[in-house]
Structure 1
Amino acid sequence: MEQKFCQSCGTLLTDNNKGTNADGDFIVSGAQTPRIGGVIMMKVENRAAVDAIIAQAPFNINGIADYRIVGLAPTIFCESILYCLLR
């Protein structure tokens, strides 16, 4: 069985910490370049929803990641792509 590692921090990914997007909360996620961390873009109603998702995140539960929450109010975007991402 091939071992997989987090692209951001190098931690071995297991069934307990690899996570999924089964709930559909994430729009995109991945490693930053250079690999100093990662980015998660979510579609949520409010900050409480973000906090609830992060509280259950395997990387948070296992103490692998620290999170900095940043809001985004898009002003320039491709309408058709934004529609597809947010529906």
Structure 2
Amino acid sequence: MEQKFCQSCGTLLTDDNKGTNDDGDFIVSGAQTPRISGMIMIKAENRAAVDAIIAQAPFNINGITDYRIVGLAPTMFCESTLYCLLR
């Protein structure tokens, strides 16, 4: 079986920590450039909802990473179809 590693932190990905987006909470996720960390964009109603999502994230559960939560209120979009992110 081929081993896969997190592109952000280099941690070996297993069934316990590889993560999924089964609930559809993540809009995008991936490594930062340079690969010193990663980023997840979540659509949530409030901070409590974000905290609940992060509490279930495999990298959080397995103690692999710490999270810094930053809010965003988008006002411009490169394409009108991206406006659906706010709904």
TM-score scaled to structure 1, two decimals? Answer: 0.92
- Give me the whole-angstrom Cα distance separating, in 2, the residues matched to 1:7 and 1:22: 20
The residue number in structure 2 matching 1:23 is 23
**Quick one: which amino acid aligns to residue 17 of structure 1?**
N
Q: What is the 5 A alignment of 1:51-66?
A: 51-66=51-66
Q: Which residue of 2 aligns with 1:33?
A: 33
Number of corresponding residues? 86
What is the identity, as a one-letter code, of the residue corresponding to 1:52? A
Matched AA of 2:60: N
Per-residue CA deviation, residues 15-58 of structure 1 (Å, 9 max, x unaligned), is: 00001000000000000000111010011111001001111111
Q: Look up the match of 1:81.
A: 82
Superimposed CA distance per residue, residues 49-73 of structure 1 (whole angstroms, 9 cap, x where no aligned partner): 1001111111011111110000001
Q: RMSD in angstroms over aligned alpha carbons? A: 1.2
3-state secondary structure, aligned to 1:36:
coil
Q: Structure 2 length normalisation: TM-score?
A: 0.92
Determine the C-alpha separation between the residues in 2 that align with 1:86 and 1:15.
Answer: 32
CA distance in 2: counterparts of 1:50 and 1:10, whole angstroms? 25
Q: Unaligned 5+ residue runs, structure 2?
A: none
Provide structure 1 residue ranges, at least 5 long, that are not aligned to the other structure: none
CA apart distance, 1:86: 4.9
The runs of at least 4 aligned residues of structure 1 exceeding 4 Å deviation read: none
Identity of aligned residues (%): 84
